[in-house]
Structure formats: structure tokens, C-alpha cells
Amino acid sequence: MKIREVKCKTALSKSNLPGLDYSLNPYRGCQHACAYCYVPNVLRIKRNEWGSFVDVKTNIPNVLSKELRTKKPGAVGISTVTDPYQPIEKKYKLTRYCLEQLLRYDFPVCIQTKSDLILRDQDLISKFPKVEVMMSIGTLNDEERKMLEPKTSSIQNRLDVLQQYSDIGIETSVFFGPIYPTIKTSDIPTIIDTFIEYGATEIMVDKLNLKPGIKENVTRVFLPYKNLIENVTYHQQLFHEIMRVCKEKNMKAVYAF
């Protein structure tokens, strides 16, 4: 893993994601190296290099502090093209330092991660008047999780994060995606019940984004499900069932894109 310390010129970027005004990414690159990640396509990084490096924006807390003095208040998404709590955060604490600045200027935040390292900052996150903790979960099967995202926290640990933040009154949600091709429509009620049981009040749903490199990676792992990976009808049926079950259980559900 190549770790590079770099300087950034800006901290906040305009976001087009639902409910977010800005995005904040303390790192470029991600140690999680999930096989289905769309970020290499967005940032034009060679897929065979993804997961082999992280650029650490060492000055981003200071840059952010300056920008917050003049920016129009709005919701900040942490992060959109990297995981803010990937392992390198243990050392550099850039996400924590940025949260300190966002709290100081009273900006709402939505933190999305796959890591239970976010529990380290519970003392800080609990002080925000408006904050959301969103855990990315694409399956409840941890053995399958290990096939596509082996360097991430276990599914149980992620569910425990939801529970712990929910228990102290923090709004918690699940980014249900990309939905693994092994999931059947009959699995949906149990999955939604599990999210609710652990305190989530909303889910954002996303299918596999089959950009170059992603389709090959996922098909290689789940070859028996090759026909489902690109099957539009399959995904439509899953989404329909998710929306039906969520409506039945008074769980808010939205599409990611």
C-alpha cells in the first residue's frame, strides 16, 4: 500500500446526490478496494491501481475551516469517493479533524462508511444538532461480503454501529447497495427487518453499476449468477419488493441515483 501525503486546494465540492449540498473527501483512494467500486471510473484511475494507494490530504482541515467561513450553510456528505473511516484514518484522523470544523460552523453532515472505526468519534458526532450515520450494506451474508469487499468491517460490526448510534438518538440509515446478485426477492423482508431491528430509519437503494471493470470483477466471483448481474427485470423486481416491504413497515426508502 502506497501512502502519499499531499496538499489540497479545496475541501468542499458541490454535490448532486440527494439531500447533500457538498461532498468532503479527506482521502483520494481507498484501502477497502471493493471489487464493485465505481470510483475508479469517476476519477479516471486505472482499476488495477485501485486499492494500492491512498493520497492523504494533510491540510484539508485547515482548508475546510477557511471555506466554512464563507460557504452557504448546507448538508455535507462525508465521503462520496472514498471511505472516510478506512484504516489510514486511525493514524491521520483527518475525518475527525474535519468534523470538528463542521461542528464549529454548525454544518449538517451525513457520514457514509463501511467501517466500525466511526465509533471512535461518537463523542464528537453526538454533539451535532443535525447528523446522519449511514452504513453501506449490500448483503447480510458475511461470507459473500468477504468475496467482494474483504478489507471492510464485517456485516455484524456495521449493524452494531447502527445500533449504538441509534441508541443515543442519532439518525441512522443504510445504503443498501450495491445489492448482491445472490439476493432473492424472498430475502427482502428479512433484510429490511434486520435493518429496522438495528435502528435504521431509512434506506437508500442502489444496484450494481456495471461500469468497465466492475462487471468483470463481480462476474468472476459470482459466475453462477452471471445472468442476473445484467438482468434488468431481476433488479426491477428487487426494487419493487424493497419499496413494497418498506412501505408496509413505514420505513423510508429512496433510490440512490
The pLDDT tens digits of the residues spanning 10-61 come to: 999 999 888 899 999 999 999 999 999 988 888 888 888 888 999 999 999 9
At 14, which CATH number? 3.20.20.70
Q: How far is CA 28 from CA 15, 51, 81, 82, 197, in A?
A: 17, 10, 8, 6, 34
What backbone torsions phi and psi does residue 230 show, to the nearest 5 degrees?
-110, 10
Residue with cell 468534523: 99
Do 21 and 107 meet the contact criterion of CB atoms below 8 Å apart?
A: no
Q: What is the pLDDT of residue 52?
A: 92
Distance between CA 129 and CA 190 in Å, rounded?
Answer: 32
User: Of the segments 137-141, 207-211, 231-235, which one has the largest average pLDDT value?
Assistant: 137-141
Q: Is the pLDDT of residue 3 over 90?
A: yes
Domain range holding 62? 2-255
The pLDDT mean for the chain works out to 94
Amino acid at 242: I
pTM of model > 0.85: yes
Q: What is the pLDDT of residue 176?
A: 96
What is the percent of the chain with per-residue pLDDT over 90, rounded to a whole number? Answer: 81
Mind spelling out the 3-state secondary structure of 161-188?
HHHHHHHCCCEEEEEECCCCCCCCHHHH
pLDDT band at 213 (very low <50, low <70, confident <90, very high): confident
Q: What is the pLDDT of residue 231?
A: 87
Q: Quote the number of domains for the chain.
A: 1
